[in-house]
């Protein structure tokens, strides 16, 4: 997603992400900051986390609902709200070219992310 939204998630300013489409995906979601240009007219995150062109955080996607609930307004303006939890910023961003929609990172990108933050947990 474009900056500064990715930075807002990293900073914990929001746990709700505005998207144009709903999703059935639940579980790990990697937050990717686009190369730019940065959107204007919204507050900027701290310079240290204004990173571009890579993964910047690991989160859990725990729900999705139409954008007509009490949590509006959620940036960016959109029809669906994706609910995030357990947002863990990466101390170093992992370079990746963004794509539209949900997409799979390469095995090498996953390896670099897992060095900083384990992506999978055992459960009972």
**Under the criterion CB under 5 A, does residue 71 sit at the interface with Zn ion?**
yes
- # chain residues binding Zn ion, by CB under 5 A: 3
Q: Which of 27, 69, 86, 118 binds Zn ion (CB under 5 A)?
A: 69
- In terms of Cα–Cα distance, which of 91, 123, 122, 117 is closest to 105? 117
Tally DSSP H helices, then E strands, for the chain.
2, 4
By the rule CB under 5 A, 12 interacts with Zn ion: no
CA separation for the pair 73, 59 (Å, rounded): 21
Q: CA–CA separation, 89 vs 33, rounded Å?
A: 12
Binding mask 103-122 for Zn ion (x = CB under 5 A): --------------------
Which residues inside 76-95 make contact with Zn ion, applying CB under 5 A? 81
**Binding residues for Zn ion, per CB under 5 A?**
69, 71, 81
């Amino acid at each position: 997603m474009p900056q500064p939204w990715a930075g807002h998630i990293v900073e914990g300013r929001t746990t709700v992400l505005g998207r144009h489409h709903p999703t059935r995906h639940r579980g790990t979601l990697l937050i990717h900051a686009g190369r730019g240009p940065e959107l204007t007219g919204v507050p900027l995150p701290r310079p240290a986390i204004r990173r571009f062109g890579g993964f910047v955080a690991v989160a859990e996607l725990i729900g999705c609902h139409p954008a007509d609930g009490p949590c509006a307004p959620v940036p960016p303006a959109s029809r669906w709200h994706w609910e995030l939890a357990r947002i863990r910023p990466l101390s170093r961003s992992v370079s990746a070219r963004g794509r539209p929609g949900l997409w799979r990172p390469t095995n090498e990108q996953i390896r670099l992310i897992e060095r900083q933050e384990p992506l999978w947990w055992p459960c009972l």
